[in-house]
């Protein structure tokens, strides 16, 4: 199946009735949104190294099934999301649904972003709309297969504010650890029997086994060491994070490095509760 060319998609968006442009959003809401953006690794796929600027998109993903590009998610009205209502941006982030009725290829991790709570999504959308619009068209995708359908549940109204449930909420939501750290089956679905046990990941990366397995995972790391790694990129061995892990820690305008100590500790606490799986990755 082919998807409509970008021009048509854009025309459809332009014809869609939209809300008035965002009036100066509440600075506190925008700041909270930037924090959520950082907890999502700075949505780094939308700012590849050669992008024109923050969120301008254009990162190419060559998959077995075709080619997709990360989209321009700046508030530019023509090439970005400037004409989308908050509800439309929310549906794209959490459900992979675009205003023109087309669906995003699930390389956009809505499987995880679906659980970003309503309050934090509202903040995230306000932040996305607050950054500089950049006019940067992105090439149309070309896929040899229909877009796989992934069912997602409803999100919480309010994000947990603290405690272990905050850690699980972040790891399984905005921070999408499992997107990279859980290997996939041939068809593309995640192999739940290897939850967080590492293996071949996105873009040819090789994410580590981060279960508590003593020899093949991070069972010897303390909670404090995991938390420190998320905020600094430094491992207990002194080695620095590399590959995609470095990308999400550093982020863009924000990244995991900006997690509060409490949130990093909560994620570490949750990671420690994940059952140990023996899986040697490297």
- For the bound state, the minimum distance from the C-beta of residue 264 to ligand HEC, rounded and expressed in Å, comes to 9
Q: Does the protein bind ligand HEC through residue 108 (CB under 6 A)?
A: no
- 136-175: which residues touch ligand HEC (CB under 6 A)? 171, 175
Q: Of 19-78, which residues contact ligand HEC (CB under 6 A)?
A: 41
Q: Does 231 bind ligand HEC (CB under 6 A)?
A: no
Residues contacting ligand HEC: total by CB under 6 A: 25
Q: Is 29 exposed, middle or buried (0-12, 13-18, 19+ CB in 10 A)?
A: middle
Q: Tell me which residue of 184, 176, 167 sits closest to 269, measured CA to CA.
A: 167
Handedness of CA 126, 131, 137, 141 (dihedral sign): negative
Site string for ligand HEC, 263-282 (x = CB under 6 A): ----x---x-----------
- Please say which residue, 13 or 114, places its beta carbon nearer to ligand HEC: 114
What is the nearest approach in angstroms of ligand HEC to the Cβ of residue 44?
7
Question: Could you tell me the two tokens for 150?
Answer: 């992934």
Gap between the Cα atoms of 6 and 50, Å rounded: 21
Q: At closest approach, how far in Å is the CB of 74 from ligand HEC? A: 21
Q: Which of 76, 111, 120, 179 contacts ligand HEC by CB under 6 A? A: 179
Alpha-carbon distance of 94 to 159, in angstroms, equals 15
Shortest distance, position 230 Cβ to ligand HEC, whole Å: 6
- State yes or no: residue 218 binds ligand HEC (CB under 6 A): yes
Joined together, the tokens standing for residue 97 give 């649904």
Compute the least distance from the CB of residue 84 to ligand HEC, in Å.
25
155 CB-side CA count, 13 A: 27
Measured from the CB atom, is 155 or 245 closer to ligand HEC?
245
For residues 75 and 167, which CB has a smaller minimum distance to ligand HEC in the complex? 167
The residues, ordered by sequence, that sit 6+ positions from 255 with a Cβ below 8 Å of its Cβ are 38, 41, 42, 44, 248, 249
Q: Give the position of tokens 């409490």.
A: 262
Asked whether the beta carbons of 104 and 48 are under 8 A apart, the reply is no
- As measured in angstroms, the least distance from the Cβ of 107 to ligand HEC is 11
Q: How far apart are the first and last CA of the chain?
A: 38
Positions touching ligand HEC (CB under 6 A) are: 41, 171, 175-177, 179-181, 201, 205, 207-208, 210, 218, 226, 229, 235, 241-245, 248, 267, 271
């Amino acid at each position: 199946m082919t998807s409509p060319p970008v021009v048509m998609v854009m025309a459809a968006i332009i014809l869609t009735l939209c809300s008035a442009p965002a009036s100066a959003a509440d600075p506190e809401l925008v700041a909270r949104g930037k924090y959520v953006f950082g907890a999502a690794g700075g949505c780094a796929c939308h700012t590849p190294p050669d992008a024109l600027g923050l969120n301008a998109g254009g990162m190419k993903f060559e998959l077995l099934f075709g080619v997709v590009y990360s989209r321009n998610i700046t508030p530019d009205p023509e090439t970005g999301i400037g004409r989308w209502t908050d509800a439309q941006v929310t549906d794209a982030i959490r459900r992979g649904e675009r205003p023109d009725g087309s669906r995003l290829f699930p390389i956009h991790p809505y499987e995880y972003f679906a659980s970003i709570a309503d309050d934090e999504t509202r903040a995230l959308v306000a932040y996305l709309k607050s950054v500089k619009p950049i006019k940067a068209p992105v090439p149309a995708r070309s896929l040899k297969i229909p877009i796989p359908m992934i069912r997602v549940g409803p999100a919480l109204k309010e994000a947990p504010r603290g405690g272990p449930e905050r850690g699980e909420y972040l790891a399984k939501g905005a921070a999408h650890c499992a997107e990279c750290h859980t290997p996939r089956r041939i068809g593309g679905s995640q192999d739940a029997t290897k939850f967080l046990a590492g293996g071949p990941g996105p873009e040819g990366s090789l994410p580590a086994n981060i279960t508590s397995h003593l020899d093949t995972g991070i069972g010897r790391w303390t909670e404090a060491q995991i938390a420190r790694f998320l905020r600094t990129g430094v491992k207990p061995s002194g080695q620095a994070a590399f590959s995609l892990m470095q990308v999400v820690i550093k982020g863009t305008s924000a990244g995991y490095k900006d997690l509060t100590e409490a949130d990093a500790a909560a994620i570490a606490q949750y990671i420690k509760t994940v059952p140990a799986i023996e899986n040697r990755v490297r």
